[in-house]
Copies of this chain bind each other. A is one copy, B any other.
């Protein structure tokens, strides 16, 4: 497990320097200080490494956004907090941003493309949720356009973090973009992106969370860990997925137990969606 992480981190460095295709497994193992054989003990193929990396790096990003959107109590500051959180992530993980967020264009393998698209759809959902919280029904026919604008702001300004290492005032950037977003939300009258439009585009990639997929996800993360509150919570939660007997409060409690642990926070995120919590 730790070996996997080491490989993913060194591979990220190399991919961000040279690109995926131009980086050889040899180079990765050299930077890790391990043998080629050891690499293939952790990952079946080079492609599988890339797929794992997408999960490893994008899940955290999605969870961060979702937390801000769901937890900030003050509507006045939500947009600012949202942007601050986003760009903080860009700054701290500029290498992974370079590799994964900008852009899907060079992701030519369908499986990877679908994965990245699915994560982006998750992000879009969080943004839409935020806009609904902030503006309610007044925005109902332009909210998808506002979402596209927000994603555009992210892409455009992310460049500053990804391609230069200048010191940037996060607070002012967030203020500036929050103001722009608010202006757009309040004044836009001509919509372009409609709800059915979004559903047409997004649907093919959208994987709904079924009992089976969730159980499978849980089993994958079951083994490699010693006894702990987290492990017990996960086991109980798994039983509840198979047959729900506890109250929603208990289930929520179990989920919250898992959330802080990086090894389980994606399971927590998905479980919360599954139980509609």
Question: Residues on A close to B: CB < 8 A?
Answer: 17-22, 98-99, 101-106, 108, 145, 148-149, 151-157, 160, 162-164, 166, 169, 172-173, 175-177, 179-180, 183-184, 187-192, 197, 200-201
Contact = CB atoms under 8 A, between A and B. Distances in A.
A105 B108 contact: no
Given A18-B108, A102-B102, A163-B201, 6 more contacts: A106-B106, A145-B176, A149-B149, A149-B153, A155-B155, A183-B183
A175 B145 CA distance: 13
Given A176-B191, A188-B183, A19 B21 contact: yes
Contact of A201 (B18, B145, B164, B180): B164
B155 A173 contact: no
Contacts of A184: 180, 183-184
A152 B102 CA distance: 12
A11 to B, nearest CB: 15
A187 B187 contact: yes
A162 B166 CA distance: 31
26 contacts: A19-B21, A19-B106, A19-B108, A21-B21, A22-B108, A98-B105, A99-B105, A101-B105, A102-B102, A102-B104, A102-B105, A105-B162, A145-B180, A148-B157, A149-B180, A151-B156, A152-B156, A155-B155, A163-B201, A166-B200, A166-B201, A173-B192, A176-B190, A179-B188, A180-B188, A183-B183
A157 B200 CA distance: 15
Nearest to A189: B179
Contacts of A18: 108
Contacts of A17: 108
Contacts of A179: 188-190
Contacts of A200: 166
B21 A22 contact: yes
Contacts of A162: 105
